Chain A
């Protein structure tokens, strides 16, 4: 696989910057001017997890034309799998000191661990579930939706309904996932203290490596013949059928892959923010992920990473400095990007190269999806 310059720069930048941050956090004195405080490390790690979600959204939206407004569901499911592992690691250190049951179950008066919590004490099993659960949900959902040729806004609305249904389900205490409060008060991850500076730094670097691995995988997929067919399906689905391709199979494969990528992002997100609760399923989260991609540049992959980091950096700054106007700023940014940067931030670079085929502007694409 040949890598273009933009992709190589992205990989070097993501891994390099993460290593520098981790190094400055670990190797400098707290009092030194060069010291990077731990909260910055956790924040950077969070951004990289969001970048994985954005990458997942771009893969299906930018290349297969599936505008998912429910991708945060896969992210949150991956997060819950990791959260369940972390809960089991607490053991007797919980408030109630129950070796088997997490605190919230003791509080609810449960006597036994529900069957679906078994196995999550093993890290490997939990990570397998972080991938398998989103993949299975995406597989069933995608198989039904794509086979029935549900496309455009209808599909977007169903994805939105999917994440909302999960939000409501996970809110219920008797689901056994901690209800409203979710899972929190984590202690260790594979034997290391989750709160420790060194663990945080390691998680940041691992996030950077996994983000780059996902990026390379996505690049491989879109550059392959499979990817070319995917783009053909995005633009003229019926034509691909008359050539003998089955668009539904192509969509399903990329949809499941995308769900897995989002799930991995969610699994890494939870130890770095220290909590997972049903609000991660909120429809707004999925819509925000679409905005990240639009801001960075749909159908560019690099743009998704860039957009996720830029917008979330803006969010952190805004919600700190001027919390009440963040949502207005986000809305204004989406309008600005649609009007003046239809190809996102990456469009600024693309215009000069003008070599690769450019994807449709988000607004135009949305219009096409509505009109079929």
Chain B
């Protein structure tokens, strides 16, 4: 697949929970190698959109196409993960009893079957890949610490590291800088741009300063569909966006 080809395509996706329309005929296109920021007020459908893409939620109607012609609505979570879509959750969820090293080891792109994992030994290649990710995510000195003992920011990075270890084509990152210090936020923007050199990324974020720092195309969601799309300056001047954000 070449740079610029369509990687992910959502067409008219609707999801209803007990009568509440979380997604309302949402359509969206993401290109290969692109980084996209998604913003929107609470309840705009950002997390539901990620749930649909990763197979956690089945849409009532609409199409979700990955790559050339893979229909994601027909697949479950492990299959979608295996296709190369990785997801980072809003609340950092790392495996708390395991060390940073083991967290990355379990995330490494590898055979996921029980027979393989029962007898698997750490190979030099795996060690090399883990070392590399530790370096990228600045966790080299923390490799033997347990997930539970990391700071909030370190957990976020470990989770991004786990995403990298999966070697996905597309990363879905939900609020990566929530609860981070300013310095950590800045480093995270650098990290995501680094990742974007080789992979497509969708970032959902509330923090406008952070979105500005990413300097990418922005999609504004509201009430389950796209309200506005364009550069950060374009969308922040859009009267529809101003109305939604500043209230009626």
Binding site for B on A (CB under 8 A): 221, 224-226, 228-229, 231-232, 235-236, 238-239, 241-246, 249-250, 253, 357-359
Contacts and interface: CB of A to CB of B under 8 A. Distances in A.
A357 B98 contact: yes
B216 to A, nearest CB: 24
B131 interface: no
Q: How large is the interface on B (under 10, 10 to 19, 20 to 34, 35 or more residues)?
A: 20 to 34
B54 A242 contact: yes
A245 B82 CA distance: 9
A225 B97 contact: no
B106 A244 contact: no
B166 A243 contact: yes
Contacts of B148: 357
Contacts of B117: 224-226, 229
Contacts of A221: 118
23 contacts: A224-B117, A224-B119, A224-B120, A225-B118, A226-B118, A228-B98, A228-B102, A229-B117, A232-B95, A232-B98, A235-B95, A235-B96, A236-B95, A238-B77, A239-B89, A241-B76, A242-B87, A243-B81, A243-B106, A244-B78, A244-B166, A249-B114, A253-B118
B78 A231 contact: no
Interface in B93-113: 93, 95-98, 102, 105-107, 112-113
A250 B148 CA distance: 23
B86 interface: yes
A243 B97 CA distance: 17
Interface in B55-91: 56, 76-78, 81-82, 86-87, 89
Chain A residues touching B, majority SS: helix
B21 interface: no
A219 to B, nearest CB: 13
Given A221-B118, A244-B81, A249 B93 contact: no
Instruction: Sort A-B residue pairs by CB-CB distance and give the 9 closest, nearest first.
Output: A357-B97, A244-B81, A241-B77, A226-B117, A226-B118, A225-B117, A232-B95, A225-B120, A239-B93
B203 interface: no
Nearest to A246: B78
Given A226-B114, A249-B114, A253-B114, A242 B81 contact: yes
Contacts of B118: 221, 224-226, 253
B146 interface: yes
Interface in B116-157: 117-120, 146, 148
A232 B112 contact: no
Nearest to B165: A243
A87 to B, nearest CB: 37
Given A235-B95, A357-B146, A242 B77 contact: yes
Given A226-B118, A249-B114, A244 B95 contact: no
Nearest to A359: B97
A241 B81 contact: yes
B162 interface: yes
Contact of A235 (B76, B77, B97): B97
Nearest to A248: B78
Contacts of A250: 114
B98 A231 contact: yes
B13 to A, nearest CB: 19
Contacts of B114: 226, 249-250, 253
A132 B97 CA distance: 34
Chain A CB within 10 Å, residue with most, of B93, B95, B112, B120 = B95
A359 to B, nearest CB: 8
B106 A232 contact: yes
Contacts of B89: 239
A243 B146 contact: no
B95 A225 contact: no
Contacts of B54: 242
Contacts of B112: 243-246
B96 to A, nearest CB: 6
A301 to B, nearest CB: 15
